[in-house]
Chain A
């Protein structure tokens, strides 16, 4: 059973560019959440997708947007990249089970903005 898979593994962009990160959830999971993890910090919640809709959003600007497809996979898009967007971007998938939303993470995409 494949776990959460993310692509690409690493990405280098320059300021002002746009980037798309991809995530395939764990088999049987229908909810995808995205997190940003800066070096030495815990992951910060960006947003969550369920039934192809953004269900919840953290404190991130509109430059961060996403999408969920009918097969539950998801994309994170970041426009007008800043140097401060350099981080590990994590995707987590889950399936709500009696109110317990246990999230499983992928290995992440490391984004460097130069």
Chain B
């Protein structure tokens, strides 16, 4: 069983839509969770990290963790064409275990 599984996508949404991205993880010992954004042919850029269950907001981005279900989500409100990228969930231990990524395209 993979440590992190991510909904594969791709997703294509109109500008202004809410984007919902999801991952599940296998090890209940994991304590914190991260989302990275990766533009084409670039390195991953840290978007958000969160430690506990519940929601964390940062501008148009909301990260949600449900430790009882081992489920993490990222929501993008009022999506913009500049949000078009691949989004990767990651769980840190001594290394980062990444999901496969979900490619999002926001259509103007």
Q: Residues of B with Cβ closer than 8 Å to A?
A: 4, 6, 32, 34, 36, 41-46, 49, 88, 90, 92, 94-101
Give the segment of A13-21, A68-76, A79-87, A100-108 that binds chain B: A100-108
| Most B-side CB within 10 Å, residue of A6, A55, A100 | A100
Contact B41 A110 (CB under 8 A): yes
A4 CB to closest chain B CB (Å) equals: 8
Contact A104 B46 (CB under 8 A): yes
Per DSSP, are chain A's interface residues mostly helix, strand or loop, or mixed? strand
Q: Point out the residue from B45, B46, B101 that lies within 8 Å of A102, measured CB to CB.
A: B46
Contact A56 B98 (CB under 8 A): no
Which range contains the number of A residues in contact with the other chain? 20 to 34
B-chain residues with CB within 8 Å of residue A101 when the two chains form the complex: 92, 94
Give the nearest-CB partner of A107 in chain B.
B43
